[in-house]
Amino acid sequence: MVNWKCDSPARVAAIGECMIEHREVGTDLKSVPGSARRFSGDTLNTLTYMARLLDRGTAEPFYITALGMDPDSAAMLAAWEEEGINTAFVRRFRDKLPGSYTISTAQDGERQFSYDRDKSAARELFRDDYAESLSNSLKDLDLLYLSGITVAILPPHDREKLLNLLRTLRRAGVIIVYDPNYRAVLWASPAEARDWSGRVYLETDVAMPGFADEKALFDNAAPEQSCKRLADLGITEVIMKNGSSPCLVAAGQDIVRFPVTFQDGVADTTAAGDSFNAGYISSRLCGHDIAASIRAGQTLAGMVIQHHGAIIPRDDTPPLYRIIG
């Protein structure tokens, strides 16, 4: 079993990419009367919600990424620090910029994305010997969170550095949590994504995939099949999200189903999975069982999808005790 028990404050980190989010404002995908800009990225979204759920005496969150020296990069750093996120492991490059993307949202809350990340500084995170220095600096973490996007944006030789970092930290007792979060546009082929996701799974303690990604990459016919496959790899906790269908958890030999409470008035499904992950992880770090932690994840995700954009206003984010139920 995963040893979630840790000293307070828990030292947690996420590694990945934050981007400039441009949101098309309109009633459908064809209507673009204006735009709004924010900063977000899947791992940053999860870490931000964790920072909000876990007060500063309970957790110390770190973000590991790379940025440029431009005003947008400076604004990102300021925003993260305002959320209570430690930026000590954020690299800065004079020759790079943050990536950006635009969200177009339909009336049913579903969205389309367009990206501009060719010059993204985060792609260069492991330039030089930075991965090796992180191996030494992060050994006292309690938990490291990453996603398939974290892996996909790196050049292949730097993906190997990431795998080595995960192995080193896991041997040191750091809990490795992975959400494959498959984005086909970031990979040369589904086979490449499948290979790298499989390799990261071998260094994972807690897997938090969406079944749609598992089906696309591994051709599993049912979420139960995906859960069993991942459990057979030695992953101790498998949390299988499946949209509005029941969430499945495999811990040991048992697979347990948790129905999803349907939400009215869905505005935007962006970061639904990211916020679910934050609720679940935060609850587990505070010593709550799997059932309570699933409730926390589902409740927070249900609130997030009633807002536009990935990160909702801080005042609308409830404390952890309110979403555990």
Quick one: tokens of 215? 């089906």
Q: How far apart are CA 239 and CA 115, in angstroms?
A: 28
Q: Given phi > 0 = left and psi -120 to 50 = alpha, else beta, which region is 211?
A: alpha
Is residue 283 within 8 A of residue 296, CB to CB? The reply is yes
Quick one: tokens of 79? 């925003």
Q: Which of 254, 274, 289, 315 is catalytic?
A: 274
Compute the Cα dihedral for 66, 70, 74, 76 and give only its sign: negative
**How many residues does this entry show for the chain?**
325
The DSSP letter of residue 33 is: S
Specify whether 274 is catalytic: yes
Residues recognised as catalytic? 274
